[in-house]
A = this chain, B = another copy of it.
Amino acid sequence: MVHLFSRHRPPSQGRGEDTRRRILETALQVFATEGYEGASTRQLAEHAGVNLPAIQYYFGSKEGLFRAVIESIIERTESHMAPLAVEVKAALADPTVPNATLLELLCSMLEAFVSLVTGGPHVEAKRQLFARSEVEDAPGLELLHESGKHHVFTPCRELVARMLRASPDDDQIELRTMALLGQVTIFCHKGAHEPGLTPERVQAIQGLVREHTLAIFQVLQSEASVH
């Protein structure tokens, strides 16, 4: 409660930075596998090789540590999606952009979404935490959920709306966009890591999501042009 705005960053002058980062990174793993409530401070401390009060010292509280973990993921999400976000924004601002370009951008968004949750360091942990943000209720998870909405869902929804000549606030557009994104989010669930998400499988996922998306809008637009 007290640390909502103070961020409780102790005035470390470089000496404790190592410890702080080690706690942060191991906490990502523990929170991902055990959940927020399931991970105990003793467990978190042990995995980081520090003693219990170090968590309060560096992050103020268990909740503070969790929020720090979430924020670090959000930062990486933003930087991962940023370049594409610029392209999408530009395309949406220009009313002359053809549907083919919009469709290609949508496919790229979905592809980037796949690589976001299946690539980079700490993939497994990120994937699990992202999945939890869609289900659990924990002190900072709504931030992660909102981040996904803002950086992935909203741009996709606007692309879909433009292609189908509808308002982005149209309920059907929203539902359709969710269905499209569901093709990706399901790979954050348990079933996805039984044989493991090898690079080949990731590439296969990206390929077939693209196939599906292209097929859907190919048919949807040809039907629309008939009417």
Q: Which residues from chain A sit less than 8 Å from chain B, CB to CB?
A: 35, 37-38, 128, 131-132, 134-136, 145, 149, 153, 171-172, 175-176, 178-187, 189-192, 195, 201, 204-205, 208-209, 211-212, 214-216, 218-220
- Which chain B residue has the least Cβ–Cβ distance from A195? B171
Q: Binding site of A, secondary structure by majority: helix, strand, loop or mixed?
A: helix
The answer, among B134, B175, B176, B215, for a CB contact under 8 Å with A201, is B175
B37 touches A189 (CB 8 A): no
B172 touches A178 (CB 8 A): no
Query: Assembly of this chain: how many copies?
Result: 2
A209 to B212, CA, bound (A): 12
Please name all residues of chain B whose beta carbon is closer than 8 Å to the beta carbon of A208 when the two chains form the complex. 172, 175-176, 179
The answer, among B182, B190, B205, B209, for a CB contact under 8 Å with A145, is B190
